[in-house]
Amino acid sequence: MPLLIRLLLAAGAGGVLYTAFPTLDLWFLAPVGIALLTAACAGAGPAIGALLGFVAGMVFFVPTLEWSGIYVGMLPWIALSVLQSLYIAVLGLLLTLTRHPVLMTPLAWVVSELLRSTTPFGGFPWVRIAFSQADSPLATWASVAGAPGVTFAVAVVGASLYAVARLIRDLRLREHPAAAATTSQARRNGGNGSGGVGWVATAATLGAASVMVAGGFLIPRPSDGTPVPIAMIQGNVPRPGLDFNAERRAVLDNHVRGTELAAAEVGEVRPDDLSLVIWPENSSDIDPFRNADAAAVIQEAVTAANAPILVGAVVERSRTTVANVAPLFRPGGPTTEAEVEQYVKQHPVPFAEYIPYRNFFRMLSSKVDLVPRDFVAGDEPVVFDLEAASTAYTAVPTICFEVAYDGLMRDVLAAAEDRPSILVVQTNNATFGYSAEAEQQFAISRIRAIEHGRSVAHVSTVGVSGFIAPDGSTTEVTGLFTARQLIDTPVVRTGVTISDRLGRLPEILASAGVLLLLGRHAIRRRRRGIVLAPARRPEESAREQI
């Protein structure tokens, strides 16, 4: 296949994958994008495969992550896109190192996402294939094998599309003896040749794809549980951008006002008391433990709601550090930092909440000084015990980008043990303007609901906010940069999903599968080299010795 055609296929793959994610939400095109990349790489050499993967990655990540450069310029945006594309380059390389790319494709996608979700600086697990599938039946596989399982299922379907297309092409080649002979010779000379697909590999891929699709419809998604009354407050900010909280008191007052409105609404339409009010991340960037005025207005809101309020606060830790904290203020409860229950964000975002190797990166961009004080990380998950009229339950908090990290989400849910629980995601999307970032994050929370069989209360300072049922469905979802109060009765549940039990095992198995295919490829190449090596006659060996 000419290189130009391969490059066009790779670019097309990246473009199609972009359309699968919010806000376009053409999730059913994700397998098509995967099939196009497989077609581009099949039969190519390793260097070309890496180039094709990188091209597909750039076409995919540059528009998908455009929100990362809205207020800080192109350099961070393009740098992030390049870094993420390198992992797709590794994927493209892997697709060239096997005789049957249809078998490598789903395994390589899982492994490449594992790598970019963990490296460097803890990784960046955004816009993984799984997170495009919140509306897809394949999202059901999250409850079995987590987000990696959903990515695997989508990639299996994509590989099957490629296999069928390739098989049809091979059958047509048989009708033209000269072309068929050329293709056969290429395969003998180059191992992969043009990337042909055997009957066995095709049958296996189609069978696996059928299982993936059928399982998506047949595996049950639980939605039962005990309803508990909860309110979420989307208070809004004076303006979008990096200075969204320049008027910090205005943001805090917005959330106090929203809480008072929610309390009045509950009093009018529902007799049951609220069991919890949730404010988003950065709802109080005035440290409530060191500023009496902030503490006072928060207590006013607690009194108005007559319910615990989970606040999103920035709390001073030292002269040079702060922490992203979710403190729970209860009616009549303590107000000092030492006594208030609180969760501290465990995974601060590099280059957004702290700057690694600050002096070095300052030489590349002065934008690093937009983060004047580094956020320090919490060291453990925390759960909050709450009481509703119907049951006692626990709220399991996470903050912002933490929702994208598989292991962290498993750990915080495990902290709830066997008690009825609800997952809470507090976030702030004001720094990303009117972009797709907020909807991309909300889609991740929907996958988490299915994965763990839990309701999710996802609340943003400016939107998108909404309650998500354990089956991934939603009711009202708020728009961007509006003030809104959401009051509902999400269900709390117990139980452990298969995904919770398996943990990282699906990724381990995928990694082992990749290594097995690479090993078989290496052995095959070695054997071919031995067979193709010219035999020497005894007299030739004797002459060489002389």
Give residue limits of the domains in the chain: 3-219+504-531, 226-500
Residue type for position 303: T
Residues 190-211: b if buried by 16+ CB within 10 A, e if exposed = ebbbbbbbeeebbebbbebbee
Indicate the angle between helix axes 30-41 and 3-19, nearest 10 degrees. 160
Question: Which secondary structure element, helix H or strand E, spans residue 427, and what is its range?
Answer: strand 421-427
Q: Which residues pair with 457 in a beta bridge?
A: 424, 467
Q: How many CB atoms are closer than 10 A to CB 286?
A: 18
The reported pTM is 0.92
Residues 11-43: b if buried by 16+ CB within 10 A, e if exposed = bbbbbbbbbbbbeebebbbbbbbbbbbbbbbbb
Q: How many CB atoms are closer than 10 A to CB 272?
A: 13
At residue 194, the pLDDT reads 47
Q: Which two tokens stand for residue 36?
A: 């196009």
Contact 102, 495 (CB under 8 A): no
Q: Which of 9, 30, 26, 25 is nearest to 154 (CA)?
A: 30
One digit per residue, pLDDT tens: the chain, 546 residues? 899 999 999 999 999 999 999 999 999 999 999 999 999 999 999 999 999 999 999 999 999 999 998 888 898 899 999 999 999 999 999 999 998 899 999 999 999 999 999 999 999 999 999 999 999 999 999 999 999 999 999 999 999 999 999 888 888 877 776 555 555 544 443 334 445 566 787 888 999 999 999 999 999 999 999 999 999 999 999 877 555 555 788 999 999 999 999 999 988 666 678 999 999 999 999 999 999 999 999 999 999 999 999 999 999 999 999 999 999 999 999 999 999 999 999 999 998 888 888 888 777 777 777 788 999 999 999 999 999 999 999 999 999 999 999 999 999 999 999 999 999 999 999 989 999 999 999 999 999 999 999 999 999 999 999 999 999 999 999 999 999 999 999 999 999 999 999 999 999 999 999 999 999 888 887 877 765 555 555 444 444 333
At residue 269, the pLDDT reads 67
Contact 227, 420 (CB under 8 A): no
Contact 490, 467 (CB under 8 A): yes
- The helices-and-strands tally (H runs, E runs) of the chain is 16, 16
Would you identify the CATH topology of the domain 226-500?
A: Nitrilase/N-carbamoyl-D-aminoacid amidohydrolase (3.60.110)
Residues designated catalytic? 281, 345, 400
Q: What is the 3-state secondary structure (H, E, C) of 358-416?
A: HHHHHHHCHHHHHCCCEECCCCCCCCEEEECCCCEEEEEEEEHHHHHCHHHHHHHHHCC
- Rounded to an integer, what distance in angstroms lies between the CA atom of residue 348 and that of residue 401? 8
Contact 313, 325 (CB under 8 A): yes
Kindly tell me the burial class for residue 63, based on how many C-beta atoms sit within 10 Å of its own C-beta (0-12, 13-18, 19 or more): middle
Contact 113, 148 (CB under 8 A): yes
Q: Which two tokens stand for residue 325?
A: 């904290």
At residue 321, the pLDDT reads 96
Contact 14, 29 (CB under 8 A): no
Question: Which secondary structure element, helix H or strand E, spans residue 41, and what is its range?
Answer: helix 30-41
Q: What is the CB-side half-sphere exposure of residue 133 using CA atoms within 13 A?
A: 29
Residues 6+ apart with CB under 8 A from 494: 418, 419, 420, 421
Output Rg (C-alpha) for the chain, integer angstroms.
27
DSSP tag of 529: H
Q: Which two tokens stand for residue 47?
A: 């260097």
